Amino acid sequence: DTAVSQTPKYLVTQMGNDKSIKCEQNLGHDTMYWYKQDSKKFLKIMFSYNNKELIINETVPNRFSPKSPDKAHLNLHINSLELGDSAVYFCASSPKIVGVQYFGPGTRLTVT
């Protein structure tokens, strides 16, 4: 039983397209996150939600829009994809803000 799952695992698309990544956690956690990991493995937070409320919105282009339909789900929609968006995107959940984070397996996005 996967604790934090993401779909798809791989996503290859062309510049200008719109795509979504879905995340679900079955741990009953209140807080969920999106992280971006670049080619140098640097991990940077993008967004965090607590009880479906947006808490953190880092300096991310507004082409990225997270949506949390309920506490167990946090989706990421990306409009007008650019080459620089190519990265691995990780979803994570935590029982509290600034707690132990449980990561999903990641979604490798490649923009051509």
Partner 1 sequence: AQSVTQPDIHITVSEGASLELRCNYSYGATPYLFWYVQSPGQGLQLLLKYFSGDTLVQGIKGFEAEFKRSQSSFNLRKPSVHWSDAAEYFCAVGARLNRDDKIIFGKGTRLHILP
What phi-psi label fits residue 61: left (phi over 0), alpha (psi between -120 and 50 degrees) or beta?
A: beta
Of the candidates 21, 74, 87, 104, which one interacts with partner 1 according to CB under 8 A?
104
Q: Is 105 in the site for partner 1 (CB under 8 A)?
A: yes
Note whether 70 binds partner 1 by CB under 8 A.
no
User: Pattern 40-59, binding to partner 1, x per CB under 8 A?
Assistant: xxxxxx--x-x----xx---
Distance CA 108, CA 37 (A): 9
On whether the CB atoms of residues 90 and 9 are closer than 8 A, the answer is: no
Name the token pair of 98. 């600034």
Q: Which is nearer to partner 1, 4 or 111 (CB)?
A: 4
Per rule CB under 8 A, count of chain residues that contact partner 1: 23
Which of 105, 89, 102 lies closest to 31 in space, CA to CA?
A: 102
Per CB under 8 A, 25 contacts partner 1? no
What residues make contact with partner 1 under the rule CB under 8 A? 4, 40-45, 48, 50, 55-56, 90, 92, 97-106
